Amino acid sequence: MAEPRVPKAEPYRAQVPVRFADCDPAGIVFYPRYLEIFNNLVEDWFAEELHFPFPEIINTRGWGLPTVHLEVDFVASSRFGEVLSATLSVRKVGTSSLSLDILLQSPAGVDRVRGKVVLVLIDRTINRAIALPGDLRARISAFEIGV
């Protein structure tokens, strides 16, 4: 029997308040807003943990980090005023891509949304994928789940 997968390091965690602007007239999060929450989570992770903020990536280096694949399971609804617990883990690091698992949970720890996101580092001047710099790759790998 195979060993269970164990994270090498703690995943990135954050608290996400559900704001009025996130909700539809029924008072629950309008599903596309979760994708914005995912993007904000990635942006915060890059700034806080990887020390490579998006303004440097985009404005200084002329690169981009677009989402090229996305899978989302909407497990249960979230309501205005709740604070969701967000967890981001790295599933795989490729030459120019990174595959992430994102989980949003209720204040009681119940899964609300599960996502798989693939991002690719690109040079925006040529609109082509470029290799992740070695130092960035090492910092990203610290969040990679075990095999």
CA neighbor of 123 nearest in space, from 52, 60, 43: 60
Strand partners, 107: none
Domain positions in the chain? 12-141
pLDDT number for residue 92: 95
Q: Could you say which residues of the chain have pLDDT below 70?
A: 1-8, 146-147
Q: Write the CB contacts of 133 (distance below 8 Å, at least 6 apart in sequence).
A: none
Per the confidence metrics, is the pTM higher than 0.95?
no
Query: CATH class for domain 12-141?
Result: alpha beta
pLDDT number for residue 145: 86
